[in-house]
Structure 1
Amino acid sequence: MRQPLEKLRGFLLFQSQGLTSKASSKLVLNSAAFQDHITRSLLHPHFLLSDPFLRGKRKAPRRRVEEERGLQTQDQPEEREYVLYSAPPTLTLAQKWGLVASPAGRITEDEWTRVKARSVRQGDSAQPCAICREEFCLQPQVLLSCSHVFHRACLQAFERFSGRRCCPMCRKEQYETRVIHDAARLFRHQCATRIQACWRGYLARKRYRKLRQSVWPKDKRLRRKFFEAKLQELNDSFVQYCHTDTEAFLTDINRSLSSSRRVFQQLERKHVSEPQESDWDRIQSQVVQRGVWDCPICLTALCSLSLPTEADASSHQQRRRTVLLSCSHLFHQLCLEAFEAFSTESRPSCPLCRSAYHKKLI
């Protein structure tokens, strides 16, 4: 690219030899310098003047080895932020002569701090990459001196295909690049928050299921379903147990019932005593208040407990005698004796309440 410019400069110098005016020669040189600067920086860095139609064939730009400010060793932590830079671009002839301002020097660490603070205020690291529109996650991230943030690979691809160093958003040229890790830290924090939320939700659901199994709800319909489920569980366990050994299960039930019955009989024999005359009067008053005048065994009428009149005295002998028990139940004497003869226990219990008794003819 330098050869066509040198030829053009030589041609202009040759043409200006015939001129005696210094102004004309200076004008020619300044024009060549401006044309060189426009061709190299403003129009396109890869146009060739040898092409008559200015359709320069695009050359693949040399990828200079990016060096880090300071020495980056493997012993240093990965979260360290550092500035990436390549060799500074060569100055054009117009910049060397002062016709065009030279590029600004590299920004200082304080300026980088202000640039990063502006990027944090804008929340660029929390937004997707402006080039690929994907989240940063743990991929390498770079911050430009214009406070815009991109994927490092996306920015390199943009520079490679555009052929110039120009910010994809604000079009600022000759920017500086700094490797940062804000998006990676934010992504790790979000992942930890999601993991904690999932774990807490799992514990809450587990605790809720356990409470639902032990505490019935207040709603009537839900409470009915709760008890139906509990009853179904009991039935299932009963059926499962019976399916294994029915005979043993029924034998255990009979054994427990017989032992319970013996215990109750012993307690009744121990505490039941012979009622006194006053106790019989009280028991008889309870019978009168109850108003039941049928024998529970034969289901026929009993004689009245009121005092017999002279008309009833003749027929009293023909009636079946009534027995009053200490538990305030009435029976025909013959019916109760038949029940006692039928019973296999040493001391029969009341046919109604199953309690030990003393009896009295009335």
Structure 2
Amino acid sequence: MRKGLNSKATSGKLAITSVALQDHIARNLLLQNLPLCDPVKTRWCRRAATETHCKRNHGTVKQKGPQQHDGEEKEYVLDPAAPPLTLAQKLGLVQSPARKLTVDEWSQVKSRSIHEGDSKQPCVICREEFRLQTQVLLSCSHVFHRACLQAFERFSGRKCCPMCRKEQYETRVIHDGARLFKERCAIRIQACWRGYVVRKWYGHMRKTVPPKDKQLRRKFFETKVIQRDTQDCPICLTALCNARLETEAGRTLAQHHSNRRTVLLSCSHLFHQPCLEAFEAFCVEGRPTCPLCRSPYHKILV
């Protein structure tokens, strides 16, 4: 009796084990897209399996472009969701696949990548900057271009990190390289604009504010006088007696008024000395101002 019961239990266990292993092998072949029997049926099963994986992963596999959330690009995992455990894996006959990384673990991986500054360096595969191209972060904290990593996987024939050779990694789309590139572009634009504003302000200051050095100050006012091309005294409206400013037609009139000397003010205006002294004598205020621009001045004879 006992021998019969033991044989029945053993045969039942063997049957369950064989069924579990057969189901596991069949599922692995289906996931590897290998033809089982009918090609039409296999194609239909392949499409159904892909749709099931996409639904389980909340549609992250089919999303090719970057997601946006509240005006910002959102990160998302590229790998499909893990298939459900088979009976053989539940019974412990076959090793279960490694579990997916959680949100906190992805945060730690990204923090390690930011600390190492991988996004600031060019891509290891193509040796070019990330700029606005799609960027992927591996579970081993290494960063590559998405297109470069796909090309590396396609030509190498296996899923292995180009840096640390870790196999069966997980990938996640990030936008750190694009963010850093936008920040650098904004800094360059701001630097160019600030340089333009400062150069414009400095040019205006050189034209309007006289320097403190005596020789440069004198040259500054002489340049202002030459630019204005002043030929008549603004007070008496007669020709100035400055030999530098007189013309051929006004030489006779200048010789007639040769006893009148010319005064240059610190505001770059020219007057006859007697005219300016008469203006200062009739000025009511304590300190006289320029008759033209109304600004305090210092005067020299020219």
TM-score, scaled to structure 1: 0.42
Q: TM-score, normalising length from structure 2?
A: 0.50
Bigger radius of gyration among the two: 1
